[in-house]
Chains A and B, each alone.
Chain A
C-alpha cells in the first residue's frame, strides 16, 4: 500500500523545510519526500494544493484520558479519536487517574489499553509520588523501562521541596523530566478563579499569581541544584514567564508549555459564572495573557499543550466553587492557534508546527515531531483557511466541556495519518479521496 500526498505545502521544522513537496507513504513509514514524485509509484494519490499544509503530526504533552477509572468522562479510545480529529498523532497522558498511574500493574493496564484502543501514539506519564500524595517516590527506573516518558503529580503540586529535590535527582538518572504542576496549595487554597477585579466583582475566592510563581521559582532553583530536568505545565502568569526566561538564559534544563485557553482568554470570561471557564491554573489578567504570548513568540515557552480535561455535564453544572477544573481542547487547539497566531500573523506556519509538534516531542524525547524518510508516517494535513464553528456536540471526545464552544475558528486539521493509517479525515479530505477514486 503506497499513498502519495501530492502538491501540498510541506512544513518540517527540523529541516527548516517550507515548500511545495510530495510525500510518499509506504505501509507505516515515509518512503520519500521530494518535489514531483511520480504517480506511478503510488496505489493511492491524493491531490492537494499549496493551500494545504502537510506537517509532522501534532504532539500534545498534556492530556487527561481518565483511564483507568473515569470512563464517563473519557477513555483511551475516545480521547485518542479526539486527538486524531485535532491533527495530533502523539500525546502524553497524565497519571491522575483512579487508581493513579504510580505502579507497574496500573501502567501495564494503561499500556494494554493503549495497545488495543488508541488510534494514535499515546505515551504514559506516571506519578512522582505514590498516590500523588507527595510522600514516597514511585519506582521511576522500572516505570521508565516500561514506557513512561515523564513523571508528574499533575493536578497536585509536590508541596514538599525535599521530595521534589529527591525526585529531580532520581529522575535525572533515567533522563526523563519531572512535569511541574506549579501551585502552592496554601496560596491557592479554595480559590476558583484568578485573584483580582473580576473575582472581587463575582464574589469568588481568588488564586493569586504567587500561587504559581513561588513554585516555579522554587523548582528552577531545585533544577539548578540537582541538574534535573523540569518541564513546567500550563504556565499562566507573567512572573512564571520571566522566571523561566532567566532560567533558560542560565542554561538550565527547563522547558515549559502553555495552553490555548490561557493564550486567548482572561478572567473576564468568567463573568457569566460558566464553569467551562473554570481552570487550574485559572485564566489570568490581560497583562499575564500578553506575557504568555510574548513568551511563546520569543521561545521562552517551548510547547502548546491542550491540558485536555474532560468532565461530565453533571459535574460541570455544579456551582462555581464545586465544579471541577478544566476544559477539553484536543479538537480545538490547532484551530484556536491558527486563528489567533497564523491569521493574525504573529507566528509563521513553521513556527506554529515547531510549537505544536517538533519542540513538544523534544521536551519528552518522543519519536515524533518530524517528517523524515524511514520514520513512521505520522502526518497531519491542515487547511489553515477552513472556517468552522466549534460545536462540542460534534466532538469525538466523550465530554462537552469546551470553553471554545461557539467560537468561529479559521483553520483545522483535515486529515491525520498515524503510521501510515488515515485515522481521521474531515469531509473535505474525504472529498479529495473520492475525487481520486473517480479519476482512477
Chain B
C-alpha cells in the first residue's frame, strides 16, 4: 500500500460522505486512506509557528465527555481550535449521570444552541448509534470512545503513527497485549489494521479474551512470549485496575509478571526494530515497564499523541465540510 506521503500529491476524488465517525468497522479502505491523507496535510500545520487555519471558522464543536479523559478531550479541543472552530466542553461527572437518561436531552439542548458537531465519550456501548438514529444528518457525531465498543479515532491515529514509521502494514505482525475483552481500542485496531493487511494477534489471560474472537480477523493467544515471536509492532493496552476485584485476574503482580511488556521480554522474542505503542494513560510497571515506554528507539507513544491531533483535525474537517464542494485537500489550508 502506498504511504500517505506518496498519495498526497495526487488530487484524489472525494470518497468521504459521512456525517458521523462511529465505528471503524464500517470504514472502507478508501475512506481510511482519505482520513490519513487529510491528516498528513494538517500535520504540517502543527509544525508551523502559528498553528491556526481558518478552515472551520464559524463552526461549533461540542466535546461531550461522560467519562474522564484529559488527553482525548484536549486532543479534540486543540484539533478544533487549530482549525478555528469554536469549542464548548461539556463534562459530566460520572456520579451525576443517572442511567444515561440525560444523554438525549443534553444532545437536544446543545443542538438547539446551534452546535455543528458533537464529540462524545460515554461509558455505554452504542450511544453514538442511538444519537445518530435520533439526529440523522442534523449533527455530525464523532465517537471518542463508547463503552467497550469502539474508539475509532484512536485506531486511526495508531494506524497513522505506524505509517509514519513504515511504508505499509501489509503482512506486518502486530501484537496487541492486554485486556482485549474490555478494550474499545483493541476492537478499533483489529478492524483497521486487518483492513490494511496486517497480521493481527491479540494476547491476554484467557479470562480477558472475549467470546467469538475466532470470527474476528485476528489470532488469539494466552502466552505472551509465543505471541511476540517475530512481532514487528507491540501495542500495550491499559489494564483497568478494578479487573482484579471482579475476579478476572488474580493479582496485578501476576499480570505484570506474565503479561507486562518489558525490555527483557522484547529482547528475547522480538527484533531490534520492533516498535512499541500504547494508547495511554499507562500503568507503568503493570502492562508496560518504564524503560520500554521511554525508549526513544522502540517507543512511539509520544508520537501517537501528536498524530492524534492531526487525525482529529482531519475527521472534524471531513464531517463538517461534506456537501461544501467535497473534501478535496486543496482548500484545506
Report A's interface with B, CB cutoff 8 A: 195-206, 208, 272-273, 314, 317-322
Contacts and interface: CB of A to CB of B under 8 A. Distances in A.
Nearest to A285: B212
Given A318-B99, A318-B101, A204 B126 contact: yes
Give the most central of B130, B146, B148: most A CB within 10 Å: B130
Given A200-B210, A200-B213, A202-B125, 12 more contacts: A196-B211, A200-B187, A200-B211, A200-B216, A201-B25, A208-B211, A272-B133, A314-B101, A317-B130, A320-B124, A320-B125, A321-B124
B31 to A, nearest CB: 19
A203 B103 contact: no
Contact of B126 (A196, A198, A200, A202): A202
B121 interface: no
Interface of B: 25, 99-101, 103-104, 122, 124-127, 129-130, 133, 146-150, 181, 184, 187, 210-213, 215-216
Nearest to A206: B211
Give the most central of B124, B146, B215: most A CB within 10 Å: B124
A202 B149 contact: yes
A197 B215 contact: yes
A203 B25 CA distance: 12
Contacts of A203: 125-126, 146-150, 184, 187
Contacts of A322: 99-101, 124
A355 B187 CA distance: 43
28 contacts: A198-B212, A199-B210, A199-B211, A200-B181, A200-B216, A201-B212, A203-B146, A203-B148, A203-B150, A204-B125, A205-B148, A206-B210, A206-B211, A272-B129, A273-B125, A273-B129, A317-B130, A319-B100, A319-B103, A319-B127, A319-B130, A320-B124, A320-B130, A321-B125, A321-B147, A322-B99, A322-B100, A322-B101
Chain A interface, DSSP helix/strand/loop, else mixed: loop
Contacts of A195: 211-212
B124 A200 contact: no
A319 B124 contact: yes
B206 to A, nearest CB: 14
A319 B147 CA distance: 11
A202 B147 CA distance: 9
Nearest to A204: B125
A314 B104 CA distance: 11
B185 to A, nearest CB: 11
A215 B133 CA distance: 38
A204 B147 contact: yes
Give the most central of A195, A208, A319, A321: most B CB within 10 Å: A319
Contacts of B101: 314, 318, 322
Nearest to B127: A319
A208 B212 CA distance: 12
A205 B125 CA distance: 9
A287 B99 CA distance: 33
A32 B122 CA distance: 65
A204 B133 CA distance: 18
A203 B181 CA distance: 8
Contacts of B187: 200-201, 203
B212 A319 contact: no
B212 A317 contact: no
Contacts of A204: 125-126, 147-149
Contacts of B147: 203-204, 321
